[in-house]
Amino acid sequence: MPSNSTIHDTLIVGAGFTGLGAAIKLRQAGVDDIVLVERADRVGGTWRDNVYPGAACDIPSLLYSFSFVKNPSWSRAYPSGGEICAHIESMVDEFGLRPHIRFNTEVTGLSFDESAGVWTVTTKGRKKFQARTVVLAGGPLADHKLPDIRGIDTYEGHKIHSAAWDGDYDFTGKRVAVIGTGASAVQIVPELVKTAQSGKVFQRTPGWVLPRLDVQMPEAVQSLFAAVPATQELARQALYWGHEASATALVWKSPLSSLVARLGRAHLRRQVKDPWLRRQLTPDFTPGCKRMLVSSDYYPARQRDNCKLIDWPIATLSPVGIRTSDGVEHHLDAIVFATGYDVHLSGPPFPVTGLGGRSLQHEWAGHAEAYKSASAHGYPNLLFMCGPNSGPGHNSLLVYVEGQLDYAVAGITTILKNNLRYLDVRADVQGRYNEVIQQRLTKTTWMSGCNSWYLTADGFNASMYPGFATQYLRQMRDFQIADYTAHARSESDAGVALDARPRVVTSTA
Ligand code: NAP
pLDDT tens readout for residues 61-89: 999 999 999 999 999 999 999 999 999 99
The larger pLDDT score, comparing residue 457 to residue 381, is at: 381
pLDDT at 497 over 60: no
Give the model's pLDDT for residue 197.
98
Give the model's pLDDT for residue 502.
45
> What is the rounded CA–CA span in Å between residue 425 and residue 308?
53
Q: What is the mean pLDDT of residues 109-124?
A: 97
> Which pLDDT tens digit goes with each residue over 362-377?
999 989 999 999 999 9
Q: What is the mean pLDDT of residues 309-318?
A: 98
Q: What is the mean pLDDT of residues 22-28?
A: 98
pLDDT at 51 over 50: yes
Q: How far apart are the first and last CA of the chain?
A: 19
> What is the rounded CA–CA span in Å between residue 26 and residue 405?
8
- Most informative mutation of 149, 205, 250, 291 for ligand 1 (most atoms within 8 A of CB): 291
> What is the rounded CA–CA span in Å between residue 122 and residue 187?
37
Give the model's pLDDT for residue 506.
45
Q: Select from 245, 180, 168, 238 the least CA-distant residue to 206.
A: 180
Residue 144 DSSP label: B
Q: Residues enclosing ligand 1, CB less than 6 A?
A: 57-58, 141, 147, 149, 162, 179-185, 202, 204-205, 291, 314, 338-341, 451, 453
What percentage of the chain has pLDDT greater than the value 90? 91
Confidence of residue 490 (pLDDT cuts 50, 70, 90): confident
Mean pLDDT of the chain: 94
- Most informative mutation of 280, 339, 386, 394 for ligand 1 (most atoms within 8 A of CB): 339
Rg of the chain over Cα atoms, rounded to whole angstroms, equals: 24
pTM score of the predicted model: 0.94
Q: What is the mean pLDDT of residues 294-319?
A: 97
Q: Which residues pair with 16 in a beta bridge?
A: none
pLDDT at 1 over 60: no
Q: Ligand 1 atom 37: the closest Cα is on which residue? A: 183
For residues 110 and 350, the answer to whether their CB atoms sit within 8 Å is yes
Give the model's pLDDT for residue 120.
98
Confidence of residue 3 (pLDDT cuts 50, 70, 90): very low
Give the model's pLDDT for residue 491.
61
